[in-house]
Amino acid sequence: MDLKQKYTEGTFQLDDFFLNKLGKFKSDDAFKIASIIDTLSDLNSPVDELDSISGFINDNKGNPIFFMIEYYIEEDETVVLVDINQIEVDKYLDEINLNKYIK
């Protein structure tokens, strides 16, 4: 995959596409999502295979916002975040059943 590295901290890389998609969320919501990403430590996936994990935040009015992050792990164990999308609650519940959610 040809990805431009935009930001690296620890073992995460965020490419431009991911950052552009994150920027489509309201700024407060994007900040909350970024804070959750900073706490991720147990992402597992076969090397160089695209995988996903879902999560949720509450906006400033207390409404839940569900999202899914797509990522892959490089051979050096760097996690590359490649996409983020808002999802419906039903999809989030499906991801919980698959144990593919942020705890």
Q: Is 99 left (phi over 0), alpha (psi -120 to 50) or beta?
A: left
Task: Report yes or no on 85 lying in a domain.
Answer: yes
pLDDT band at 98 (very low <50, low <70, confident <90, very high): very high
Kindly list the distances between the CA atom of residue 6 and the CA atoms of 14, 16, 53, 58, 94, in Å, as whole numbers in the listed order.
Answer: 6, 6, 21, 27, 31
Task: Report yes or no on 67 lying in a domain.
Answer: yes
pLDDT of residue 24 exceeding 70? yes
* Amino acid at position 2, single letter: D
What is the CATH classification number for the domain harbouring 62?
3.30.2310
Q: What does the alpha-carbon distance between residue 61 and residue 89 come to, in Å, rounded to a whole number? A: 17
Task: Report yes or no on 42 lying in a domain.
Answer: yes
pLDDT at 53: 95
Structurally, the chain folds into a number of domains equal to 1
Task: Report yes or no on 2 lying in a domain.
Answer: no
Task: Report yes or no on 84 lying in a domain.
Answer: yes
pLDDT at 10: 46
pLDDT at 41: 77
The span from the first CA to the last CA of the chain, in angstroms, equals 29
Task: Report yes or no on 32 lying in a domain.
Answer: yes
Q: Look up the domain containing 75 and give its range.
A: 10-97
pLDDT at 62: 96
Task: Report yes or no on 46 lying in a domain.
Answer: yes
| Tens-place pLDDT, residues 28-74 | 999 999 999 988 877 878 888 999 999 999 999 999 999 999 999 98
Task: Report yes or no on 4 lying in a domain.
Answer: no
